[in-house]
Structure 1
Amino acid sequence: MTVDVRSGRDGPGLERVVGALDDDACREIVSALDEPMSAQEVADSADVPLSTTYRKLDKLTDASLVNEETEVRPDGHHRSRYVVDFERIVVELDEGREFDLDLERPRDTPEGRLANMWSEVRRET
């Protein structure tokens, strides 16, 4: 079973996480994301083509390893920023000889919770 340690909810699944981490470009992107960045900034920092960066960011987001946040701007032209959304990944073999994956998440700040809430609203509309 995959568990998100911060929320206690079921996580994204071992296959998605391992699949994303088995991808060289995805690992380059995770390594480059030391602060919130736009897709263009990620592409430049990770030295990955922009079209590939978008695909890999989607893959990392689906695996719950990267979070897409919305930067709210006064001019109304909001933009997406991406952040790494884990501190540690633990894969182990449990007593039933099944693989177990735990994702340890960073603690949410009030700003982070607001950004996550805004991102959820955007996804639903």
Structure 2
Amino acid sequence: MVRDPSSHEEEPDPREILSALSDDDAVEMIAALDRPKTASQISEECDIPLSTTYRKLERLTRADLLQESTEIRRDGQHTTLYSVAFESVIIELDDQNELDVDLSRPERAKDQRLAALWSEIREET
């Protein structure tokens, strides 16, 4: 399933974000995403086993720190690409002394919006 954090109406759980960012490998993976990459590319670049890479990518995506997109290939061998889904993360205490999160997201380009729309259509069919 391809997930696009910018389509969420509510912010993710601050504890999930803190937990994901407390993992040194996950932080290294985020730093490696200077452009959208596959799990295999991230695994190789960060020297992390592929199974571990998938587990950490899932955790980062669930925390809305990464977004998944599908690269459509003519040969039918589509692949999932991962990219950073935030510009900044601010976590603070609110008036009730509970954690509050504010994720600043980059503006998506037209091709990214089209790709997200196409992914949603493919999921429904």
Corresponding position of 2:3: none
Corresponding position of 2:58: 58
In the alignment, does 2:119 pair up with 1:119? Answer: yes
Corresponding position of 1:49: 49
Corresponding position of 1:102: 102
In structure 1, how many angstroms separate the alpha carbons of the residues matched to 2:27 and 2:117? 27
Q: What is the aligned residue count?
A: 120
* Identical positions, percent: 46
- 1:1-125 matches, within 5 Å, as 9-123=9-123
Instruction: Give the aligned residue type for 2:101.
Output: L
In structure 2, how many angstroms separate the alpha carbons of the residues matched to 1:60 and 1:124? 24
Instruction: Give me the TM-score of the superposition, normalised by structure 2.
Output: 0.86
Give the gaps of 5 or more residues in structure 1: 1-5
In structure 2, how many angstroms separate the alpha carbons of the residues matched to 1:109 and 1:59? 25
Helix, strand or coil for the counterpart of 2:42? helix
In structure 1, how many angstroms separate the alpha carbons of the residues matched to 2:27 and 2:36? 16
Helix, strand or coil for the counterpart of 1:18? helix
Q: Is the 8 A contact 1:68 1:119 kept in 2?
A: no
Rate the CA distance shift 1:117–1:59 in 2: closer, same or farther, 3 A. Answer: same
Give the gaps of 5 or more residues in structure 2: 1-5
Instruction: Give me the TM-score of the superposition, normalised by structure 1.
Output: 0.86
In structure 1, how many angstroms separate the alpha carbons of the residues matched to 2:122 and 2:54? 18
Cα offset, 1:55, TM superposition: 0.6
